[in-house]
Amino acid sequence: MSRLTVAGPVPLRGRVRVPGDKSISHRALLLAGLARGTSRVTGLSGGQDVAHTRAAVAALGARVDEDGPGTVTVTGATPVAPAAVVDVGNSGTGLRLLMGVCAGVAGTTRFDGDASLRRRPMDRVAVPLRRMGATVEGDGDTCRAPLSVAGGALRGIDYELPVPSAQVKGAVLLAGLAADGETVVRERLVTRAHTEELLADFGADVEVDAGERLVRLRPGPLTATDVSVPGDPSQAAFWLVAASIVPGSDVTVEQVYLGPARNGFLDVLQRMGADLEVDRGTGDVRARHAALVGTDVAPEEIPGLVDEVPALAVAAAFAEGSTRFLGAGELRVKESDRIATVASELGALGARVEPSSDALVVVGGGGLRPGVVDSHGDHRIAMAGAVAAVAADGATTIEGWDVVATSYPGFEDDLAALTRS
Q: Give me the CATH number covering residue 251.
A: 3.65.10.10
Mean pLDDT score, 391-395: 97
pLDDT in tens, 58-107: 999 999 999 999 999 999 999 999 999 999 999 999 999 999 999 999 99
CA of 313: how far to CAs of 82, 179, 359, in Å?
42, 42, 12
Angle formed at CA 44 by CA 284 and CA 208, multiple of 5 degrees: 75
135 and 239 together in one domain: no
Query: Alpha-carbon distance 373 to 395, whole Å?
Result: 11
DSSP-derived 3-state class of residue 341? helix
Listed in sequence order, the residues at least 6 apart from 175 whose beta carbon sits closer than 8 Å to its beta carbon are: 100, 101, 103, 104, 128, 129, 132, 134, 154, 183
192 and 237 together in one domain: no
Closest CA to 310 of 382, 370, 358: 382
pLDDT in tens, 246-281: 999 999 999 999 988 888 999 999 999 999 999 999
Preceding amide of 9 cis, omega within 30:
yes
241 and 129 together in one domain: no
pTM of this structure: 0.94
Listed in sequence order, the residues at least 6 apart from 158 whose beta carbon sits closer than 8 Å to its beta carbon are: 183, 184, 186
220 and 235 together in one domain: no
Name the β-bridge partners of 303: none
* pLDDT recorded at residue 421: 65
Bin 18: left if φ > 0, else alpha if -120 < ψ < 50, else beta: beta
323's enclosing H/E stretch is: strand 322-325
201 and 241 together in one domain: no
Active site residue 307: yes
Q: How many CA atoms lie within 13 A of 55 on its CB side?
A: 16
Query: Alpha-carbon distance 176 to 194, whole Å?
Result: 16
189 and 60 together in one domain: yes
Is the confidence at residue 284, as pLDDT, over 90?
Answer: yes
Closest CA to 141 of 164, 161, 121, 162: 121
Name the β-bridge partners of 112: 87
* pLDDT recorded at residue 261: 83
Structural domains counted in the chain: 2
Boundaries of domain holding 178 = 22-228
Query: Alpha-carbon distance 91 to 223, whole Å?
Result: 26
Name the β-bridge partners of 4: 398
Which of the four pLDDT bands, split at 50, 70 and 90, describes residue 1?
Answer: low
CB-count burial class (<10 Å; 0-12, 13-18, 19+) for 69: exposed
* pLDDT recorded at residue 190: 87
353 and 373 together in one domain: yes
Indicate which residue of 114, 232, 284, 307 is catalytic.
307
366 and 382 together in one domain: yes
